[in-house]
Amino acid sequence: MKQRDIGSKPAAWCALALAAALFLLGSVQLGAKVTSIAKITFYTGEVKTQPPKKDDWKKAIFQQPLANGEKIKTWDQSRAEIGFSDGSIIRIDGNSSLDIVDAKKDKAGQQVEAKVWSGKVWANVNKMSKKSKFELESPTAVAAIRGTVYRMAVSPDRTTRIAVYSGAVAVKPHPDFFMEQKGKAGGREGEIEGPSEIAGPTEVSLDQWIQIVKIHQEITINPDGTYGIVQFNPELDAQDDWVRWNQERDRAMGRTR
């Protein structure tokens, strides 16, 4: 009997160790869900997400946590809203695709980088500290903002349009796009036409231009690197269904400025 008791102790310890490991693993997973800084706060229609480094698309779930590298895709007549821990919001229109490249919040502030591959998005970004960063990228441009309401639209030919409703947006060419255009120019820096509101066309290096787009202005970055800024009428603009829906939702959430 004693020999059987002695022999059973290693097995018992192994069982206890396994149970402890499973408990810790579950605790870590639970903690990851609690500390998630982005989640789906609203959706309608067909919306799917693709976890990082996975091939399968899964149907979105209300309040679903989103991780770095997560992809969100909407189909026809569908929309989704992503809420971040600081209260900032990104909304996605139908037939659109967005990647959360990086999102985190630490002592330095909120850090968010997302990429719009196609379609339309609306961003309502909280005012942040100087160390915080909130960037939306398209295949051709990068928009950096702080305390701003704006929308971005990316066409199939990669034309990017950014319209500002509050605050200001700093827009510059995407680094990958610059290298692509530079390669087309045979290794020489490309030249693009200056923004329409600057007197006369100004030739500038593609990697040097950066534009501050202000309230009620829209910048268009074309596939060849040319760009221009125009003033838009907010009353006429509000007749667009996508714009009107976002503004109504912002008012309902108390997010108007």
Q: What angle do CA 133, 137, 142 make, to 5 degrees?
A: 75
C-alpha 239: how far from its chain's center?
25
Q: What is the pLDDT of residues 15-42, one digit of tens each?
A: 555 554 444 444 444 443 444 778 999 9
In this structure, the number of other CB atoms found within 10 A of the CB of residue 69 comes to: 15
Residue 15: φ, ψ to 5°: -65, -40
Q: What is the pLDDT of residues 192-229, one digit of tens each?
A: 444 444 333 444 444 457 899 999 999 999 988 889 99
Where does the pLDDT of residue 70 fall: very low under 50, low under 70, confident under 90, or very high at 90 and above? very high
200/203 Cα distance (integer angstroms) = 10
170/40 Cα distance (integer angstroms) = 27
- Give percent above pLDDT 90 in the chain: 52
Residue type, 134: F
DSSP designation for 159: -
Q: 128's torsion region: left (phi>0), alpha (psi -120 to 50) or beta?
A: beta
Q: How many residues in the chain?
A: 257
Fold of 37-252: Jelly Rolls (2.60.120)
Q: Give me the pLDDT at residue 52, please.
A: 87
Provide Rg for the chain, Cα atoms: 23
Average pLDDT of the segment spanning 119-125: 96
